[in-house]
Amino acid sequence: MLNSVWIIVALPALSFVIILFFGKRLPKHGAEVAITAVAASFIGSCWAAVEWIDRVNASEHAAGIAGFFGKGMMPSDSAQGGVEPVVNSLTWWQSGGIDFGVGTYVDGLTVMMVFVVTLISLLVHIYSTGYMHDDKRYTWYYAGLSLFTASMLTLVVASGTLQMLVGWELVGFCSFMLIGFWWEDRENSRAAIKAFLTTRTGDIGLIIGIIILFTAVGTFNIAGTNAYALQGANNHDILLIASICLLIGIMGKSGQFPLHTWLPDAMAGPTPVSALIHAATMVVAGVYLGARLYPVFYEGFSISNGGINMMALVGGITILVGASLAFVQRDIKKVLAYSTISQLGYMVMALGVGAWVAAVFHLFTHAIFKALLFLGAGSVSHGGTHHSFDMREMGGLRKKMPITFWTFIIGSLALAGIFPLAGFWSKDEILVNAGSQGFELFLIIGLVGAFLTAAYMTRCVYLTFFGEYRGKHHPHESERSITTPLIILAGLAIVGGMINAAPLGIKKFTEWVEPTTNFPKVVHAEFDVPLAVISVSIAMLAIGVMSYFMFRREELTKFKGLTQRNRLARSGYTLLERKYYLDYLYENVIVEGIRTPIARAMYWFNQTVIDGLVNFLGRGAVRVGRFAYENIDQRGIDRAINASANEIGAAGGVLQRVQSGSVQRYALYIFAAVGVMSVALFVLSVS
Amino acid sequence: MELNQFLILSAFIFAVGVYGVLARRNGVLVLMSVELMLNAVNINLIAFSAFNHNIRGNIFALFITAIAAAEVGVGLAIVLLIYRNLRSPDLDRVEQLKG
Amino acid sequence: MWEQQVVFWLLALAMGGAAIGVVRSNDVVHSVLFLIVVLAGAAAQYILLAAEFVAWVQVLIYIGAVVVLFLFGVMLTRAPMGDDGARLNNDQRGAAAVVALLIFGVLTALLVDAFGGQEIRFGADLVAQGRPQAIGSDLFRNFVVPFEVLSMLLLAALVGAVVLARKD
């Protein structure tokens, strides 16, 4: 299976094509095809995981034998216990003597990602049969899910950065398509466009980074790129620039500050889509890229030196921004969206402080419990509030929806990092690594983030499930197709973290997933009991404080009362409610600035600034002239100067006409530009 | 005969076609100018085909002829659509791209 | 060789004049007629270059089909027939002429620089190469896939044209 993971990718792609052509005519309108394909992919990925684990164990066994017989007996690589990734590739096309390959690069990270993607995707597919039951674009929805799964798997198994880019753009497109799924609503299509454009902004960085790496390395190959990065210090500048560019790509895709603003808006899509794309898989593509090309970042940002680097800083800021914004949301999905941003911040920060395993482990656990939370929120709106996500219409659902309630509680506790749920192990691993390698600042940020996380989840759970029911419908528990995935995910959220429970001596995740070849020598911090106690108590404290506020006042009024009485609190609340004014900056300042024709700005500049300047200078000259040169006609000079000013103004008017909207005018510019450039080239080549 | 005779004739017809595309207001006339440009390309291909004694130029010219036919079909349909929506075949009435 | 030269220059003058006629005529129908002259001239040039098959295809498809399409287009859009220059030309004629001259100039300079003085060698092999037999065997031996793709393109264009032009 390790040599044929392409089958796992091909199945959802095939299902997409089948649904596209025959979906509407099938008895279940395409859902059965999609679910079968993803289920087969999931089985394939389990099989691949088993084979990979066998391979790791066999290699350890071989290393043991080699140790027993002495190092001379075995090739040095396997003597170090290195497990080579399984690489298969074929030439996609050839140009200028360079092969552009497609293929699969399978190691522990790939296997883990394939497992997560197919697992969550399968559960979301099943969940959607209930959730999307009456939708008029049901078939289309399943086609979209299939295409997304295939694209995400393409990205994950890619053997080269170019292929990764293809998958990366495809998942971006699917995300766009599914956010705007209910495009009749103008809000939704705007959100889709915003998400697409914001991630595209980051993609430019990614593309430039890939090109830089390609120029430096001479291949798109991931293995080759990583080997190049580890070669030595003589290429540090290139690696630094490349990793900054790649980091911009990560910022766009993984919702890192300051490109995170699209993710909350992306909640306009159907909830299962939010769970799959905007919590568990697509948004972690950035983190995956960081993990996949880790040697580049490790060397580029000199992570081994400790101290502050850009990656850790971006992650750290994102933790705080996301967590604080999650406080003021009224929409349960937006709370979760900001929480996702904040948790992605943890992953990026972990990569930035050299805690590779912790980052990937957190990716793994977060995918499970955040998908659980999103699906739970979907269940609440499905059964409880009739497709509303406003927490003001919820409350008191604890009794009416017991399964949803308990699974949601488990997800929240896992997210808050309460022992012994999944989130505890991964978050703790990040913190302990940050603390032990000279990144104390980030340890503190992580602890503050843990406090905020626990607090906003308490608020969210309280508003949703406790108190009195404030909606106008008749809440009831959702059907089986919705609760089954919730129960499965809740089970995984309880036990999933144990796979790397360091104090119990279980380090399977590290063993299976961490690459052993072509990888920088990262330090693994040992489990630290006091730190774990501190982080759990911080989370408990946050839960306690928030519960005190919530239960005592029963309503939101207390919080509101505080903000009304205290000016500082109020301004803080406004700042948060306006999302730090970032959207305002992007939409009103930057976009407006570009949309209003630049020519008009130039015209204005000409009319007021230059014109004024010229007039001012002219008048000054006139005054001087009146005294010094009595016999030169004052009006003549004045007129000449005014004429020149008018000329400049007219030039601005001409520039304004560039944006005429006439196609033929644009064609004229194109041909003229081609002509002028050919002349230039011709002259240059002849001389 | 010199190769350049044909090439420069083709360049001339191409330039005339460019002028037509830029200066004509009527959509049908613009399409006709595009045909002029495509024909100029064809002359080029045939001339090189004869110059190099290579049959590929002829084959490419055939492909271009077929594509030109497709292009005229779609192009005229677009002009018809413009005419139907704007009550005029004039391309300068199409200015929804205006900034 | 002089007969060929005479024919070439006659054709070239006719084609150049007709091409200018296409873009400067004040009557749409005249423009179509001028276009026929250019297309027929091009076909004759192909024969001069011993590309017999392409020449006939040119006559059949361009003059036979494309020009008829244009005439349909003229009729369906009720383009003004008769003298109406102001409505046929837009206001960027001067700039367009400058750009066209620029492109012609730079192309000519380039061609003279690159291929100045190179002669075309005519012979029996050239004539054989222009025959349908040679073209057919090369087309279906080496260009089958592009040929099929082209047929798909034509189909797509057909469907697209119907969809666009359909009244609904």
Q: Each residue of A175-194: pLDDT tens digit?
A: 888 888 888 888 888 888 88
Nearest CA in chain B to C11: B9
C56 vs B: CB within 8 A: no
How many CB atoms within 10 Å of residue A188? 19
Interface mutation vs chain A, best among B14, B18, B34, most A CBs within 10 Å: B18
Among the listed ranges A120-124, A577-581, C153-157, which one has the minimum average pLDDT value?
A577-581
Q: How far apart are CA A283 and CA A263, in angstroms?
A: 9
Chain A nearest C-alpha distance from C41 (Å) = 26
Chain B hits for A659, CB-CB cut-off 8 Å, are: 98-99
Q: How far apart are CA A236 and CA A295, in angstroms?
A: 12
pLDDT of residue A601: 57
pLDDT tens for C30-40 read 899 999 999 99
Which of B18, B30, B96 faces A661 most closely, judged by CB atoms? B96
Which of C1, C66, C118 faces B3 most closely, judged by CB atoms? C118
Query: In percent, how much of chain A has pLDDT > 90?
Result: 4
B95 vs A: CB within 8 A: yes
Which of A672, A674, A686 faces C113 most closely, judged by CB atoms? A686
Cβ separation B92–A664 shorter than 8 A: yes
Cβ separation C90–A664 shorter than 8 A: yes
pLDDT of residue A79: 38
Q: How far apart are CA A311 and CA A340, in angstroms?
A: 18
Cβ separation A660–B95 shorter than 8 A: yes
Q: Which carries the bigger pLDDT value, residue A70 or residue A35? A: A35
How many CB atoms within 10 Å of residue B84? 13
DSSP-based three-state secondary structure for B90: strand
User: Does the pTM of the predicted model rise above 0.90?
Assistant: no
Query: In percent, how much of chain C has pLDDT > 70?
Result: 95
pLDDT of residue A580: 65
Cβ separation A597–B91 shorter than 8 A: no
Q: Which two tokens stand for residue A262?
A: 């699209």
pLDDT of residue A198: 84
Chain C hits for B61, CB-CB cut-off 8 Å, are: 51, 54
How many CB atoms within 10 Å of residue B46? 28
Chain B hits for C84, CB-CB cut-off 8 Å, are: none
Q: How far apart are CA B48 and CA B56, in angstroms?
A: 9
pLDDT tens for A610-654 read 566 666 666 665 566 555 555 444 455 556 666 666 766 666 666
pLDDT tens for A340-388 read 998 999 999 888 888 888 888 889 889 888 888 998 888 888 877 777 7
pLDDT of residue A636: 55
Highest-confidence segment of A205-219, A631-645, A657-671: A205-219
Quickly state the pLDDT bin for A237 (edges 50, 70, 90): confident
Q: Which two tokens stand for residue C51?
A: 């590309």
Average pLDDT, chain A: 78
Highest-confidence segment of A55-69, A92-106, C100-114: C100-114
Q: Average pLDDT in the B20-26 region?
A: 89
Among the listed ranges A53-57, C7-11, C155-159, which one has the minimum average pLDDT value?
A53-57
For tokens 């090109």, the residue is A211
C86 vs B: CB within 8 A: no
- Evaluate if residue A159 carries a pLDDT over 90: no
- Evaluate if residue B39 carries a pLDDT over 90: yes
Among the listed ranges A445-449, A498-502, A569-573, which one has the minimum average pLDDT value?
A569-573
- How big is the CA angle at A559 (ends A553 and A562), to the nearest 5 degrees? 110
pLDDT of residue B31: 92
Q: How far apart are CA A438 and CA A306, in angstroms?
A: 5
C-beta of residue A587 within 8 angstroms of C-beta of residue A581: no
How long a stretch of residues is chain B?
A: 99
| Segment (H or E) for A89 | strand A86-95
Interface of B with C in 34-93 (CB under 8 A): 35-36, 39, 42-43, 46-47, 49-51, 53-56, 58-59, 61-63, 65-74, 76-81, 83-84, 89-92
Average pLDDT, chain C: 88
Cβ separation C96–A676 shorter than 8 A: no
pLDDT tens for A294-344 read 888 888 887 777 667 888 888 888 888 888 888 777 788 888 888 899 899
Query: Number of C-alpha atoms within 13 angstroms, CB side, residue C29?
Result: 8
Nearest CA in chain C to B5: C8
Chain B nearest C-alpha distance from C150 (Å) = 8
Interface mutation vs chain C, best among A663, A677, A682, A684, most C CBs within 10 Å: A682
DSSP-based three-state secondary structure for A390: strand
Among the listed ranges A259-268, A363-372, C106-115, which one has the minimum average pLDDT value?
A259-268
- Evaluate if residue A171 carries a pLDDT over 60: yes
C131 vs B: CB within 8 A: no
Q: Which carries the bigger pLDDT value, residue A669 or residue A516? A: A669
Chain A nearest C-alpha distance from C44 (Å) = 29
Chain B nearest C-alpha distance from A201 (Å) = 22
C-beta of residue A159 within 8 angstroms of C-beta of residue A104: yes
Q: Which carries the bigger pLDDT value, residue A549 or residue A627? A: A549
Highest-confidence segment of A227-236, A622-631, C17-26: C17-26
Interface of B with A in 68-87 (CB under 8 A): none
| Segment (H or E) for A87 | strand A86-95
Sign of the dihedral through C-alpha C161, C162, C166, C168: negative
C109 vs A: CB within 8 A: yes
C51 vs B: CB within 8 A: yes
Which ipTM score applies to this complex? 0.90
How many CB atoms within 10 Å of residue A578? 13
C-beta of residue B18 within 8 angstroms of C-beta of residue B2: no
Which of C95, C106, C113 faces A668 most closely, judged by CB atoms? C95
Which of A665, A668, A678 faces C106 most closely, judged by CB atoms? A678
How long a stretch of residues is chain C?
A: 168
- Evaluate if residue A66 carries a pLDDT over 50: no
Query: In percent, how much of chain C has pLDDT > 90?
Result: 43
pLDDT tens for A12-60 read 999 998 888 887 777 778 788 888 899 999 999 998 888 888 888 887 7
Q: Average pLDDT in the C17-32 region?
A: 90
- Evaluate if residue C54 carries a pLDDT over 90: yes
Nearest CA in chain B to A596: B99
Cβ separation C103–A671 shorter than 8 A: yes
- How big is the CA angle at A497 (ends A36 and A51), to the nearest 5 degrees? 50
C150 vs A: CB within 8 A: no
C-beta of residue A659 within 8 angstroms of C-beta of residue B98: yes
Highest-confidence segment of A208-217, A460-469, A496-505, A515-524: A208-217
pLDDT of residue B21: 92
C142 vs A: CB within 8 A: no
Highest-confidence segment of A212-221, A457-466, A565-574, C56-65: C56-65
Average pLDDT, chain B: 88
For tokens 């080759």, the residue is A224
- Evaluate if residue B82 carries a pLDDT over 50: yes
pLDDT of residue A634: 47
Which of B91, B96, B99 faces A664 most closely, judged by CB atoms? B91
pLDDT of residue B36: 94
Query: In percent, how much of chain A has pLDDT > 70?
Result: 78
For tokens 């495809």, the residue is A170
pLDDT of residue A221: 84
In Å, how far are A185, A196, A259, A273 from A189, measured between CA atoms? 7, 11, 19, 15
Query: Number of C-alpha atoms within 13 angstroms, CB side, residue A136?
Result: 3
Chain C hits for B17, CB-CB cut-off 8 Å, are: 19, 23
pLDDT of residue A76: 39
Chain B nearest C-alpha distance from A604 (Å) = 16
Neighbors of chain A by Cβ distance (3+ pairs < 8 Å): B, C
